Amino acid sequence: MVVDDNKTKNAKGSQWILRALVVAVLDVILIAASFFAALLIRFDLKYSEIDPQFIQTYLRIIPFCIAGAVLLFILFKLYNSIWRFASISELERMTKAWAIFTVLAAIIVIVDEHINGIRRLPISVWIMGVVFGYMSTTALRFGYRFLRFMTKVNSRGKNGANVMIIGAGACGKDVIREVTSSQHLNSKVCCAIDDNPTKKGRELDGVPIVGNRYDIPKMVGKYQIDEIIFAIPDARGVDRKDILDICSSTGCKVRVIPGIYQMIEGTVTVNSLRNVQIEDLLGRDPVKANMKSIRQYITGKTVMVTGGGGSIGSELCRQIAKAEPKLLIIFDIYENNAFWIERELREKYGDKLNMIALIGSVRNTNRVNSVMEKYHPEIIFHAAAHKHVPLMEGSPNEAIKNNVGGTYKMAQAAAKYGVERFVLISTDKAVNPTNIMGASKRLCEMVIQMMDRKAQKMYDNGDLKVRTNYSAVRFGNVIGSNGSVLKIFEKQIANGGPVTVTDKNIIRYFMTIPEAVALVMESGAYARGGEIFVLDMGEPVRIDDVARKMIKLSGLVPDVDIRVEYTGLRPGEKLYEERLMDEEGLRKLEENPEISVAEPIPMNDEEFSQQLVDLDAAAKAETDEIREIVSKIVKTYKYKKV
């Protein structure tokens, strides 16, 4: 295979040299013809009236002109360009080359006339010759692109897709060029849409701008549009959602440019287009965290992430790595997860990032203590947990062992080994839980608040050298996490359906993984001990609406092309999730209004400590009464007895 690849590369290199030579030969012919045409025009296109001395001068001077022009073209790399992509850059270089040629030609003429006494050509011939030469050599190059474009357009038959571009800006222009020049698409850009009223009736790279967002349905019909490309990477969340909602009513397939960073990096290509995702439909702008606050308490510290290979844990590792920690410890029971995030970070940062991936369970006291004693982490983000509601309903004792027992052991080890900050990843399912997973996470929050009070007492009594600061961060569903409903929808649509929704009225809060993790890390900066931080996740989204929009934006019709089925609520599942309990007050942080703090609910720490011991024993005994035991501790836990 290596030999074949080398042959291919050599063949392509030879092909490029051959093309460059052909263009150079054509340049020679055009330059010679341009000056001769100028001489003919000077004498009214009558060759017989041209003074023989002018012919001699032309024949004497033209080889030097050709050699000078070709040399300048080489210096300005005009034979290196890919001419099917000819643009302003090539035109600028061509103009500079001819400008220098004009100056050099004038010098040659003056020197030749004074030294050799040769009668020079009339000034009008020189002026016309330069103009004709510039125009013809430029036309040669841009004509190649034009002919390719016309050939491609004319070769597209009735089976080609008609495309509408949303956004007549710089990004839209790049997309039009990409679609037009792509050899892999049989598509034609028919029209563009833009909300700026001054653009209506004008053209963008030859594509008519035909109206604003409200004209989309009408123009889809007029131009028989098959596909819509959303090319406004910096659109506000509410505008993005509104426009995509309109697009979903057209029956066209919709694709989008991912984000403004694509424009900054100059990577807007056909390959960067993607299908519409749920974050496009949230109707809000991305949440921004205060990266300065995050860096201040993470940079130069030893940071440990439990469950570091999971959806949230791996993103925590990515963002911690950016903050330049002294050491990043990835701790996970699943070796495959740990392997892939470690490999990703090694490839990205190399030796710049001091990192170690360790395999172990938060349920194993000896393993936890061993790691803590050896590496002495200063900050712990505790993301290790069982999170899937239906699975935990079938294995409730495992939810208690891993989520509650694992959190308690990690929290105790944090105090013992002088950890400065301990941040628990919680969930809105902990609020008035109806399933064992949510109840277990509520117990974890109670563990954190109890441990924070204990740490304060032990520090005040001189039993601890470092006062561990415990806090929890509560948020809802994250887009793109392993096993999330939206991932399931994508697979179901790709497989032709049906798309399964548990209940027509079920609603959920959604946030992207990077958003959630950034706010989790920022919350850690503001923690003073015992807080439960609640992230603002915007307005809740009806799952049925999301499923149907995802089908429509794939160019399909719900219940016609893809069937939507309602399967009924699963055990322990609620129609809607709550952000806090009635007993909890909620105040927004002054530093970031996207983060609020829930007031802790008073509890008897000694009684709760004993309850945790009894709960752990019951879970290990594989009792069938674990839900009833949990409900006596978490008073807000309501479950259906089987």
CATH of the domain at 620: 3.40.50.720
Same structural domain, 432 and 526:
yes
Same structural domain, 331 and 466:
yes
505 lies in some domain: no
pLDDT at 1 over 60: no
What is the pLDDT at residue 277?
60
Same structural domain, 432 and 318:
yes
Same structural domain, 244 and 347:
no
Same structural domain, 141 and 168:
no
* Residue bearing tokens 């090539």: 90
588: β partners? 596
Q: Check residues 202 and 113 and name the one with the higher pLDDT.
A: 202
Q: Mark which of 120, 137, 153 sits at the end of a domain.
A: 153
Query: What's the pLDDT band for 529 if we cut at 50, 70, 90?
Result: confident
pLDDT at 438 over 60: yes
Expressed in angstroms, the distance from the first to the final Cα of the chain is 63
426 lies in some domain: yes
Q: Check residues 256 and 435 and name the one with the higher pLDDT.
A: 435
Same structural domain, 250 and 106:
no
> Please, which residues have CB within 8 angstroms of residue 406's CB and are 6 or more apart in sequence?
306, 361, 362, 363, 384, 385
* Cβ(484)–Cβ(520) below 8 Å: no
Q: For residues 310-326, give the mean pLDDT.
A: 92
Same structural domain, 425 and 468:
yes
Same structural domain, 223 and 334:
no
Q: For residues 465-488, give the mean pLDDT.
A: 79
7 lies in some domain: no
pLDDT at 371 over 90: yes
Mean pLDDT of the residues in the chain:
82
Q: Check residues 459 and 583 and name the one with the higher pLDDT.
A: 459
* Cβ(428)–Cβ(577) below 8 Å: yes
pLDDT at 598 over 70: yes
Q: Check residues 402 and 112 and name the one with the higher pLDDT.
A: 402
Which of these ranges, 418-422, 513-517, 607-611, has the smallest mean pLDDT? 513-517
State the pairing for strand pair 355-359/379-382.
Answer: unpaired
What is the pLDDT at residue 572?
67
638 lies in some domain: no
- Domains in the chain: how many in total? 3
Q: What is the pLDDT of residues 253-310, one digit of tens each?
A: 888 876 543 333 444 444 555 666 666 666 555 666 667 777 888 999 999 999 999 9
Which of these ranges, 49-53, 201-205, 486-490, 617-621, has the smallest mean pLDDT? 486-490
Residue ranges making up the domain that contains 43: 12-153
* Cβ(353)–Cβ(345) below 8 Å: yes
Same structural domain, 67 and 147:
yes
- Cα–Cα dist 37/45, whole Å: 8
Q: For residues 576-589, give the mean pLDDT.
A: 61
Which of these ranges, 104-118, 139-153, 405-419, has the smallest mean pLDDT? 139-153
640 lies in some domain: no
What DSSP string runs through 58-83? HHHHHHHHHHHHHHHHHHTTTTSS-G
What is the pLDDT at residue 548?
87
Where are the alpha helices (H) located in 250-334, listed in sequence order? 260-265, 291-298, 311-322
Same structural domain, 390 and 309:
yes
Q: What is the pLDDT of residues 399-427, one digit of tens each?
A: 999 999 999 999 999 999 999 999 999 98
What is the pLDDT at residue 266?
41
Query: What's the pLDDT band for 151 if we cut at 50, 70, 90?
Result: low
pLDDT at 125 over 90: no
Which of these ranges, 93-102, 450-459, 508-517, has the smallest mean pLDDT? 508-517
> Please, which residues have CB within 8 angstroms of residue 172's CB and are 6 or more apart in sequence?
165, 166, 192, 194, 204, 231, 232
